[in-house]
C-alpha cells in the first residue's frame, strides 16, 4: 500500500454546488480535511449543513444534474478521485471506499435475498465464484453478529429487524475490506439500544482491521467516544476543526458551543433545554457576512458584514469566527472551574 | 490479506475491551455490549452507557427456539389471489381453455376424424352447415357438438384451433411488450434527462398514431401470400404497438425507484449502470408489470379478433376466434351457432383474463396487504 505522507484521504477546498431554479445552492463550500490511515474522523452538523454531500462527493455520487463538484481535489491514496474516469471510480467504490447509509430500512433491495446482495460485492470486486462468495457472505454475517447466519442468509430484507439490517449493511460494506469506511448517520434510524450495539460493532471493526472511518452524524454523543478528529459543519462550511477531545473541552466557535450546550445532560437537572435560536439558513441565499451571525449570541456588526476568517487557535485546531481567539480563551477559562 | 480479517474476527477468544473489566469480552457473540460504553465521571460524557438497556440478544433468545418460516412476497400474493373468487374462476377458466386449445384439436381428430381444416369434399351432403349435436340426417349425434360451418368443417375443432392462435397472438405480443417495453421504460426512467426526453417523446409520437390504422397499414403493405406469413406479420404488427403503455408504466415505476436509498447503496458499492437497472431496479417493478401483462393479453386478443373480423388478420384455412366470428356473422340469421360458439368462448376467455388481471393487481398491491 503506497502512502503519501501517511494520509489516506486528503480533501482540499472541495466545493459542491447545486444549480437549482431558485439559485445556486452551495451545499459544500470550500471544505478541506485530512484523514490518516486508521483514524476516525467525525463530521457533525445540522440537517442540510452539507455533511452527506461531502461524503457523496468523495465517491462521486452527487446526483448530476443538478449537483456539480465545482472545484477542489479529493486525493485518495495520492490519487485525485475527481480526475479518474467513471469506470475507475466504480472500482474504488465498495472495494476501497465503502459506505454505510442512514436508513437500513430502505438501503437494502427488497427484492434481493440478503445472500445475493452480499455476494454481489465480492463477485464484482474480488472475482469470487458464487460458492466462495456465498461462504464469504455467511462469514460476514457471523462477523457482524447475526445469529444463525447460515439459516438467515437466504432471507429477504423484510424478514430482518432494523438493527439486523444495519448489521447486514455493515457486513456488506466490509466484505471487500475497504481502506475507508464512510458511515453516513449509521445509527440515526435506530433506537438507542441498537444504536449502542452498532457503534460498538463499528468500533470493534475499526480496532480489528485498522480501517479509516468517516462518521457523519448530528449526534454529538455518538462522535464523542468514537472519533479522533472532528469537523463541525454549518451551511456548507467548516466552522470548527479540531481533535475530538480538544473540541469538546475547549471549543473556539460559538456555534460548536451552542451545539454542546444543546445536548441534554442527564446528570444535571436542567430546566428548559437549551436551543440555538433561529433556524438553519437557506443555503441558496446566504448573507454576505458570517452565515451563523443571525443566530449567534455574540454577533457584532462585523459578523454581519464581513465573512469571518478561518483562525488557527491551536495545533490542528481551527475555527471560522471573527472572535475565535476570544471564544477559545473563554472556553479555557470556563474549563478551569 | 483476504481471510486474515475474518479469521481474526471469527476467533473464539475476542480481544478485550481495554477500559472495561478484564474477564468479560466487550462484545458477546450476539454483539450486545455488556458494559456501559462510557463510564460516568468521564469528562467527555454526553450520553450514559446503555447499561439499563435490554439488548437484542435477550429478545432474540426467545425466537431462536423455533424459527418461524417467513412467507415470501409471492407466497403472500398467491394466498391473497386464492381468496379472490373471481380471480380463481378466471385462472381456472384460462387454464382450462388453454389446455383445451392445445390438445383439443388432436382429440377431436382422433374421435371424429375431423381436423380443423378438414372439408369432407367427397360427400356433397356433408359440405354444409349442421346445427350442434345434429347428424346430416337431422338426428342427434355427438360428432359435431358445435355444429359445422358452411364448408362442413367441424366447428369445435375450429374454435379450439382458433383458441390456439388467439392465445398465441396474445402471449407473443405480450412477450414483445415485456421485452421491449420493460427494457425501454427502465432505461429511459433510470438515465433520465435528455435520454428520457428523446425516448419518451418517441413513445408519445407512436402513441398518438391511431394504432389500429397503423396495424392495418402494416398488414396491407406487407401482405403475405401464405396464411402463416400473414400470421407472423400479425405478430409483428401487434407486438410493435403493444409495448408503448408498458414502457410508460415501467418508466414511471423506475422514476420513483431510482431515488431510493438501495439504488444509491448499490451505486456506492460500485455496481455498473446496466446491472443496477436490470438486476436491482427491474425486479422491483415486477408487480405492476405482471398485472399489466395479464391485462395486455386480452387487449391484444381483442385487437386480433377485430383485425381478423375486418379481414386483415388470420386467413383461412387457419382460424382465430375473430375470423370465425367474422365468418359466422354473415349467416347469423340462419346458422347462429357459427357466431355464438367462437363469440362466447372468446368472451369467456377475455372476462377470465381480466378477472385474473384484476385479482393479480389486488394481490400484488402493497396497499391491500392488510385485507
Cell numbers describing residue B10: 471469527
What's the pLDDT tens digit per position in A201-226? 888 888 888 888 898 887 787 788 88
Sort out which chain A residues have CB atoms less than 8 A from B369's CB and list them.
Answer: none
Contacts of A190 (CB under 8 A, 6+ apart): A104, A162, A163, A166, A198
A144–B10 C-beta distance less than 8 A = no
Mutate which of B31, B50, B267 to test chain A, going by most A C-beta atoms within 10 A?
A: B31
What's the pLDDT tens digit per position in B231-277? 777 777 787 778 888 888 889 888 888 888 888 888 888 888 888 88
Lowest mean per-residue pLDDT among A61-75, B319-333, B351-365:
B319-333
The phi, psi pair for B358, rounded to 5°, reads -60, -45
CB nearest B26 (choices: A98, A200, A220)? A200
Cell numbers describing residue A98: 465503502
A106–B260 C-beta distance less than 8 A = yes
**Nearest-CA distance B178 → chain A (Å):** 19
Local structure of residue B98 (DSSP, 8 states): H
| Residue ranges of A 236-255 with Cβ closer than 8 A to chain B | 245, 248-249
- β-partners of residue B108 are none
Question: How many angstroms from the chain centroid is the CA of residue A200?
Answer: 17
| Residue ranges of B 67-86 with Cβ closer than 8 A to chain A | 67, 70, 72-73
* Angle in degrees, 0-180, between the axes of helices B183-191 and B193-208, rounded to the nearest 10: 140
A98–B31 C-beta distance less than 8 A = no
| Residue ranges of A 64-93 with Cβ closer than 8 A to chain B | 65, 90-93
- Measure the CA–CA gap between A116 and A134, rounded to whole angstroms: 8
CA nearest A197: which of A158, A228, A166, A157? A166
Nearest residue on chain B to A91, judged by CA atoms? B270
**Interface residue A8 vs chain B (CB under 8 A):** no
Burial class of A120 by CB neighbour count within 10 A (0 to 12, 13 to 18, 19+):
buried
Contact A163, A197 (CB under 8 A): yes
**Interface residue A172 vs chain B (CB under 8 A):** yes
Contact B356, B282 (CB under 8 A): no
A197–B31 C-beta distance less than 8 A = yes
Number of other residues whose CB lies within 10 A of the CB of residue B57: 17
pLDDT band at B70 (very low <50, low <70, confident <90, very high): low
**Interface residue B11 vs chain A (CB under 8 A):** no
CB nearest B56 (choices: A156, A197, A267)? A197
Q: Calculate the alpha carbon distances from A30 to A185, A210, A259, B18, B318 in Å.
A: 22, 29, 22, 38, 74
CB nearest A225 (choices: B27, B37, B261)? B37
Sort out which chain B residues have CB atoms less than 8 A from A126's CB and list them.
Answer: 2
Residues of chain A with pLDDT under 70: 1-5, 266-271, 336-337
CB nearest A209 (choices: B5, B27, B55)? B5
B260–A61 C-beta distance less than 8 A = no
The phi, psi pair for B278, rounded to 5°, reads -90, -25
pLDDT band at B348 (very low <50, low <70, confident <90, very high): confident
Q: What's the pLDDT score for residue A39?
A: 87
The phi, psi pair for A26, rounded to 5°, reads -90, 85
B48–A197 C-beta distance less than 8 A = no
CB nearest A107 (choices: B53, B262, B272)? B262
Local structure of residue A294 (DSSP, 8 states): G
**Interface residue A263 vs chain B (CB under 8 A):** yes
- Measure the CA–CA gap between B158 and B180, rounded to whole angstroms: 32
B267–A93 C-beta distance less than 8 A = yes
Angle at B21 between CA B20 and CA B25, to 5 degrees: 85
Sort out which chain A residues have CB atoms less than 8 A from B31's CB and list them.
Answer: 144-145, 167, 197, 200-201
Instruction: Indicate whether B52 pLDDT > 70.
Output: no
Contact B116, B319 (CB under 8 A): yes
Contact A242, A230 (CB under 8 A): yes
Question: How many angstroms from the chain centroid is the CA of residue B169?
Answer: 15
Q: Calculate the alpha carbon distances from B132 to B144, B149, B285 in Å.
A: 6, 10, 48
Evaluate the omega torsion of the peptide bond into residue B329 and state whether it is cis, within 30 degrees of 0: no
What's the pLDDT tens digit per position in B179-203? 888 889 889 888 888 888 898 999 8
- Measure the CA–CA gap between A129 and A136, rounded to whole angstroms: 10
Question: How many angstroms from the chain centroid is the CA of residue B195?
Answer: 27
**Nearest-CA distance A288 → chain B (Å):** 34
- Measure the CA–CA gap between B318 and B315, rounded to whole angstroms: 6
A248–B44 C-beta distance less than 8 A = yes
**Interface residue B40 vs chain A (CB under 8 A):** yes
Prediction ipTM score: 0.80
CB nearest B272 (choices: A90, A174, A248)? A90
Contacts of B213 (CB under 8 A, 6+ apart): none
Average pLDDT over chain B, rounded to an integer: 72
Inter-chain contacts counted by CB atoms under 8 A, chains A and B: 154
**Nearest-CA distance A229 → chain B (Å):** 14
Contact A250, A327 (CB under 8 A): no
pTM: 0.72
Classify each residue of B168-189 as buried b or exposed e, where b means 16 or more C-beta atoms within 10 Å of its C-beta. bbbbbbbebbbebbbbbbbbbb
- Measure the CA–CA gap between A219 and A44, rounded to whole angstroms: 7
pLDDT band at B27 (very low <50, low <70, confident <90, very high): very low
Angle at A197 between CA B50 and CA A150, to 5 degrees: 145
| Residue ranges of B 266-285 with Cβ closer than 8 A to chain A | 266-272, 279-280, 283-284
Q: Calculate the alpha carbon distances from B201 to B183, B189, B194, B195 in Å.
A: 16, 13, 10, 10
Q: Within a 13 Å sphere around the CA of B216, how many CA atoms are in the beta-carbon half?
A: 13
Q: What's the pLDDT score for residue B50?
A: 44
B6–A139 C-beta distance less than 8 A = yes
Instruction: Indicate whether B364 pLDDT > 80.
Output: no
CA nearest A234: which of A276, A181, A190, A182? A276
**Interface residue A140 vs chain B (CB under 8 A):** yes
A163–B64 C-beta distance less than 8 A = no
Contact B260, B266 (CB under 8 A): no
SS3 state of residue A29: strand
Contact B147, B134 (CB under 8 A): yes
Local structure of residue B284 (DSSP, 8 states): G
What's the pLDDT tens digit per position in B101-150? 888 777 777 777 666 666 666 666 666 666 666 666 666 666 666 667 76
| Residue ranges of A 187-216 with Cβ closer than 8 A to chain B | 192-194, 196-197, 199-201, 204-205, 207-209
SS3 state of residue A229: strand
Length of chain A: 337
**Per-residue DSSP letters for A86-118?**
HHHHHHHBTTTEEEE-S-TTTSS-TTS-HHHHH
**Nearest-CA distance A124 → chain B (Å):** 8
**Interface residue B41 vs chain A (CB under 8 A):** no
- Measure the CA–CA gap between A241 and A320, rounded to whole angstroms: 9
Number of other residues whose CB lies within 10 A of the CB of residue A207: 14
CB nearest A224 (choices: B27, B44, B261)? B44
Of B164 and B142, the one with more pLDDT: B164
SS3 state of residue A269: coil
**Nearest-CA distance B352 → chain A (Å):** 29
Nearest residue on chain A to B265, judged by CA atoms? A107
B262–A106 C-beta distance less than 8 A = yes
Helix ranges restricted to H, chain A? 51-58, 86-92, 114-125, 130-143, 149-152, 162-174, 192-209, 220-224, 244-249, 254-262, 301-305, 324-336
* Angle in degrees, 0-180, between the axes of helices B337-364 and B321-329, rounded to the nearest 10: 140
**Nearest-CA distance B299 → chain A (Å):** 29
Sort out which chain B residues have CB atoms less than 8 A from A192's CB and list them.
Answer: 50, 53
Amino acid at each position: 500500500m503506497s502512502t503519501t505522507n501517511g494520509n489516506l484521504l486528503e480533501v482540499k477546498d472541495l466545493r459542491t454546488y447545486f444549480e437549482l431554479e431558485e439559485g445556486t445552492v452551495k451545499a459544500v463550500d470550500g471544505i478541506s480535511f485530512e484523514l490518516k490511515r486508521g483514524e476516525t474522523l467525525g463530521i457533525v452538523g445540522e440537517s442540510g449543513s452539507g455533511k452527506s454531500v461531502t461524503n457523496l462527493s468523495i465517491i462521486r455520487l452527487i446526483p448530476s444534474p443538478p449537483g456539480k463538484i465545482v472545484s477542489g481535489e479529493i486525493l485518495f491514496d495520492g490519487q485525485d478521485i475527481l480526475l479518474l474516469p467513471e469506470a475507475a471510480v466504480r472500482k474504488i467504490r465498495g472495494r476501497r471506499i465503502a459506505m454505510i447509509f442512514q436508513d437500513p430500512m430502505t438501503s437494502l433491495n427488497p427484492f434481493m435475498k440478503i445472500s445475493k446482495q452480499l455476494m454481489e460485492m465480492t463477485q464484482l470486486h474480488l472475482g469470487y465464484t458464487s460458492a466462495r462468495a456465498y461462504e464469504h457472505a455467511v462469514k460476514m454475517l457471523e462477523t457482524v453478529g447475526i445469529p444463525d447466519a447460515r439459516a438467515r442468509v437466504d432471507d429477504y430484507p423484510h424478514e430482518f429487524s432494523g438493527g439486523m439490517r444495519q448489521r447486514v449493511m455493515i457486513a456488506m460494506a466490509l466484505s471487500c475490506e475497504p481502506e475507508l469506511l464512510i458511515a453516513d448517520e449509521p445509527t440515526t434510524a435506530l433506537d438507542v439500544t441498537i444504536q449502542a450495539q452498532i457503534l460498538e460493532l463499528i468500533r470493534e471493526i475499526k480496532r480489528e482491521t485498522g480501517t479509516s472511518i468517516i462518521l457523519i452524524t448530528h449526534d454529538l454523543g455518538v462522535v464523542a467516544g468514537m472519533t479522533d478528529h472532528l469537523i463541525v459543519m454549518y451551511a456548507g462550511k467548516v466552522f470548527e476543526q479540531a481533535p475530538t477531545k480538544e473540541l469538546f473541552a475547549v471549543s473556539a466557535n460559538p456555534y460548536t458551543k451552542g451545539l454542546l450546550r444543546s445536548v441534554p445532560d442527564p446528570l444535571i437537572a436542567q430546566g428548559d433545554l437549551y436551543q440555538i435560536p433561529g433556524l438553519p439558513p437557506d443555503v441558496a441565499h446566504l448573507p454576505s457576512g458570517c452565515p451563523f451571525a443571525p443566530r449567534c449570541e455574540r454577533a457584532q456588526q462585523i459578523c454581519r458584514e464581513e465573512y469571518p476568517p478561518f483562525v488557527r487557535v491551536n495545533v490542528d485546531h481551527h475555527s471560522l469566527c471573527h472572535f475565535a481567539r476570544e471564544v477559545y480563551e473563554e472556553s479555557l477559562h470556563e474549563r478551569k472551574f | 490479506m483476504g481471510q486474515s480479517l475474518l479469521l481474526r474476527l471469527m476467533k473464539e477468544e475476542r480481544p478485550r475491551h481495554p477500559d472495561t473489566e478484564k474477564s468479560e469480552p466487550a462484545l458477546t457473540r450476539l454483539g450486545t455490549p455488556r458494559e456501559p460504553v462510557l463510564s460516568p465521571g468521564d469528562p467527555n460524557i454526553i450520553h450514559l452507557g446503555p447499561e439499563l438497556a435490554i439488548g437484542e440478544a435477550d429478545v432474540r433468545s426467545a425466537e431462536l427456539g423455533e424459527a418461524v418460516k417467513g412467507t415470501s412476497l409471492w407466497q403472500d400474493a398467491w394466498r391473497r389471489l386464492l381468496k379472490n373468487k373471481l380471480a380463481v374462476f378466471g385462472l381456472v377458466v384460462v387454464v382450462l381453455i388453454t389446455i383445451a386449445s392445445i390438445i383439443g384439436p388432436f382429440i377431436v381428430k382422433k374421435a371424429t376424424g375431423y381436423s380443423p381444416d378438414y372439408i369432407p369434399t367427397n360427400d356433397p351432403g356433408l359440405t354444409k352447415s349442421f346445427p350442434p349435436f345434429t347428424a346430416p340426417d337431422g338426428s342427434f349425434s355427438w360428432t359435431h357438438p358445435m355444429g359445422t360451418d358452411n364448408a362442413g368443417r367441424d366447428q369445435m375443432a375450429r374454435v379450439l384451433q382458433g383458441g390456439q392462435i388467439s392465445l398465441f397472438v396474445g402471449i407473443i405480443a405480450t412477450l414483445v411488450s415485456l421485452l421491449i417495453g420493460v427494457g425501454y421504460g427502465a432505461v429511459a426512467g433510470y438515465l433520465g434527462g435528455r435520454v428520457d426526453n428523446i425516448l419518451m417523446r418517441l413513445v408519445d409520437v407512436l402513441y398518438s398514431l391511431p394504432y389500429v390504422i397503423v396495424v392495418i397499414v402494416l398488414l396491407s403493405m406487407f401482405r403475405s401470400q401464405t396464411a402463416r406469413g400473414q400470421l407472423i406479420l400479425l405478430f409483428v404488427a401487434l407486438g410493435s404497438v403493444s409495448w408503448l403503455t408498458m414502457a410508460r408504466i415501467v418508466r414511471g415505476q423506475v422514476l420513483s425507484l431510482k431515488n431510493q436509498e438501495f439504488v444509491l447503496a448499490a451505486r456506492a458499492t460500485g455496481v455498473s449502470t446496466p446491472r443496477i437497472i436490470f438486476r436491482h431496479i427491474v425486479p422491483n417493478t415486477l408487480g405492476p408489470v405482471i398485472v399489466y401483462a395479464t391485462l395486455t393479453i386480452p387487449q391484444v386478443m381483442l385487437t386480433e379478433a377485430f383485425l381478423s373480423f375486418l379481414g386483415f388478420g388470420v386467413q383461412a384455412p387457419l382460424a382465430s376466434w375473430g375470423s370465425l366470428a367474422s365468418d359466422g356473422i354473415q349467416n347469423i340469421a340462419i346458422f347462429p351457432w357459427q357466431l355464438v360458439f367462437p363469440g362466447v368462448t372468446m368472451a369467456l376467455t377475455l372476462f377470465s383474463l381480466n378477472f385474473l388481471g384484476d385479482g393479480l393487481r389486488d394481490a400484488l398491491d402493497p396497499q391491500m396487504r392488510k385485507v
